[in-house]
Structure formats: C-alpha cells, structure tokens
Structure 1
Amino acid sequence: MTKLEIIVASTRPNRVGLKIGEWIESEVVAHGGFDEIELVDLAEVDLPFMNEPNHPRLGQYTHQHTKDWSTKIAEADAFLFVMPEYNYGYNAELKNAIDYLHNEWHYKPVGLVSYGGVSAGTRAAQMIKQVVTTLRMTPIFEAVSIPFVQQFIIDGKVVPNDVMTTSAKAMLDELVRVNTTLLALRQGTTEK
C-alpha cells in the first residue's frame, strides 16, 4: 500500500494554493499510481514557528503538534509540494514544516507543483531542492509549473491546459517509479 501526501504550502487568506492542491489531487486519483492520497493543508496544520528544544534528528519531540506532524509525515511514502513563489523563493511556512522533522522525510520522493507569475514558481522549486536533498529526499525532475496562475482559476476551480495535465502525468509516472526504487532504502530507516 502506498500513500501520497499533497502538502499545500500557502497559508495566506484568499490563496489559490488550496485550489491547485484540489486540482492535482484529482489528477493523482485519475492517474491511479497511489493506493491512498491525502491533501494536507499547512493552514489547517497550523504549526507555530519551530519551538522544539531538541534537534529534529533526535526525534525527542516535546510538543503534541510536533508529534502529530511527525506521525503525519512518517505515514507517507511520497509527497507533492504545492507551492507558491515569494520573492524568488518558497514560503516560510513550508520551510518551517520541513524543518520540524528529520528522519520522517528520509528516502521519500517529492514532486513539485509550483505556481506564480511569469516564472511559474520555478525559482522556488529550484531553491527547495537544496533543502529536500539534505533530508535524503529525492526531488522528481518532472514538475508542474503554472505561470500566471489566476488565468486558470475559473468559477473557483482550476481549469488546466494541456501542458499542465501532460506535466502532471509525467511527474506522477516518475514519482511512482522513484517511490518503488526508494522503498528498499526506507525499510528499516524510519524508526524514531
């Protein structure tokens, strides 16, 4: 059984990230490569800025919100990060959510769904690769990059173009392949 978690990074009021997350979730369902899919909204998770006294690699969490977050991330086999671009980078809430944990991320693939203006969030996607590889995650080369994102929001829903749906399929195909390969590395490495 394989579980994919789609993490919606934006927490702003009136954000489009949740709509993008719901769209990519429908693409994942149609793809059929994962047995279980969960949309994880960082606005609902509502982690405070890092407040654990111990380094995350020790797994000695003192706060319930961290223990809950640890359980959520540990149960996933793969991730999609749905992320905006802020000032040529990714948002602080996503970095904070990543930094709370350590071992729970190891040997798991991550696909990137970025959005923004002219750059389509590609600078944020490139920047986060440095962080996730440090946690032994494998970022998938294939990605979904959505330029001028507002043009694809019609009546409160994402109406994708052919490039978006083709990119989503290519990313999900590769995410399934890499997840299968990394499974051997994860066995015995996720204990806390």
Structure 2
Amino acid sequence: MPRPRLQTVIGSTRPGRRGAAVATWFHALALDHPGFDAGLVDLAEVALPLLDEPHPPQRGRYEHEHTRRWSELVSAADAYVFVVPEYNHSYNAATKNALDYLAREWRGKPVAFVGYGGVAAGSRAVQALLPVVTSLGMLPVAGSVHIPFVRLSFTADGRFEPAPGLDDSANGVLDDLLRLTAARPTAPVG
C-alpha cells in the first residue's frame, strides 16, 4: 500500500525570508519519517498572483493555468504542513492567498503548522489559520511546532539550527498528522 503524500508548504515569499530554511529542516524530518512520502512546495516558486479567478473556487472552474497547476499540486497530497511566519499578530498574505485559490482540493485533508517569529513563536499565526483551514474543511492536528526568536536559530552561514527538543516536537506533529491521515475517510468529504 502506498504511503500518504505529505506536502510541506513554505508560506513566506518575502526576499530574505527565514521560512525556506525552516521548511527545509522540517521537510528533512518528514523524508526520514516512515509514514509519509514527502514533498516540499515553495509558494514563491508557485507564484500565484493575488486571487484572480472570476469564479468562486468551490465551483472548480479555473480559467488560469497557474490555478490549474496549483490545483493539481494540492490535489496530489493527502496531508499538509504549512511553515508560516508571524506578521503583525497573524499569518502572511501569500499563505492566505494560496489557501483561498482552492476549495474542494483541501476538503477532508489533515493539516499541521510550523510557526516561527519572535516572542510568540508564530503561535498567533497558527491560531489565526485554524478557523481558515477549518472553514475549508481541513482537519487540523491538535499540536503545532513553534519556533521563538527564529533569527537566533541561524548559523553565521545562514543554516537553520533547531533548538534542543525541536526535532522531537516536529516528529510528534508528524506522528499526529499520520494518525489523522490514516483515520480520514477515503471518500471525499462534502
């Protein structure tokens, strides 16, 4: 039986972002996890313009090629982890835009988060995302990974160096995500 497909999504598209390095660390843990086939998706490479589809995403009538490509990419996964920065007590616009482009592609699929930022460790970004993914019909796991003062977790050469215990936290989220992925119904929800 094939393993479920997990996509780790780099939410930040900002030049100089920390999210790509954080997501690369998490993705490496996901690759080592025995339960998933893991992929890494960079919203900067996906390059979605601000939502420009004339029809509501619930209809699935996509007129633009970038939306069709995004739909195919998202549809290929069974579960997701969004790596998101905290901006102004919430999450970033590129993540919201990427979520809003689609509807049925997200429905019934488990989701987890890696939040990063300053003193709040990305927790406010994750909290703000929960009602959004829930309204899309996604199934959020109970826990998240939170990285406080993310800028202090980088080496002089720009590598992300996780704090002690962070790998364990991330592996716990992966285990929870796998349990939820295995328990979800095989028929589409909705």
Letter in 2 for 1:4: L
Change (3 A) 1:109 1:188: closer
Instruction: Tell me the distance in 2 between the aligned counterparts of 1:113 and 1:176.
Output: 16
Match of 2:72 in 1: 71
What runs of 5+ residues in structure 2 fail to find an aligned partner?
none
Write the mapping of 1:154-169 to structure 2, written as runs, cut at 5 A. 154=155, 155-169=157-171
Match of 2:182 in 1: 180
Change (3 A) 1:177 1:164: same
Instruction: Tell me the distance in 2 between the aligned counterparts of 1:102 and 1:15.
Output: 27
Instruction: Tell me the distance in 2 between the aligned counterparts of 1:189 and 1:73.
Output: 16
Match of 2:27 among 25, 28, 34: 25
Q: Is this contact kept in 1: 2:108–2:188, CA < 8 A?
A: no
Greater alpha carbon shift after TM alignment, 14-23 vs 161-170:
161-170
What runs of 5+ residues in structure 1 fail to find an aligned partner?
none
What does the per-residue CA deviation read over 1:121-171, in whole Å, with 9 as the maximum and x for residues that have no partner?
100100100000001101111211000001111122111122211110110
Match of 1:146 in 2: 147
SS at match of 1:158: coil
Match of 2:172 in 1: 170
CA RMSD of aligned residues (A): 1.2
Letter in 1 for 2:151: Q
SS at match of 1:4: strand
Match of 2:6 in 1: 4
Instruction: Tell me the distance in 2 between the aligned counterparts of 1:77 and 1:137.
Output: 11
Q: CA deviation at 1:32?
A: 2.0
TM-score (norm. length: structure 2): 0.95
Instruction: Tell me the distance in 2 between the aligned counterparts of 1:188 and 1:114.
Output: 28
Q: CA deviation at 1:188?
A: 4.2
TM-score (norm. length: structure 1): 0.94
Instruction: Tell me the distance in 1 between the aligned counterparts of 2:134 and 2:165.
Output: 27
Match of 2:114 in 1: 113
Write the mapping of 1:59-138 to structure 2, written as runs, cut at 5 A. 59-138=60-139
Q: CA deviation at 1:74?
A: 0.6
Letter in 1 for 2:77: A
Instruction: Tell me the distance in 1 between the aligned counterparts of 2:188 and 2:9.
Output: 25
SS at match of 2:73: helix
Instruction: Tell me the distance in 2 between the aligned counterparts of 1:55 and 1:188.
Output: 19
- How many residue pairs end up in the alignment? 187
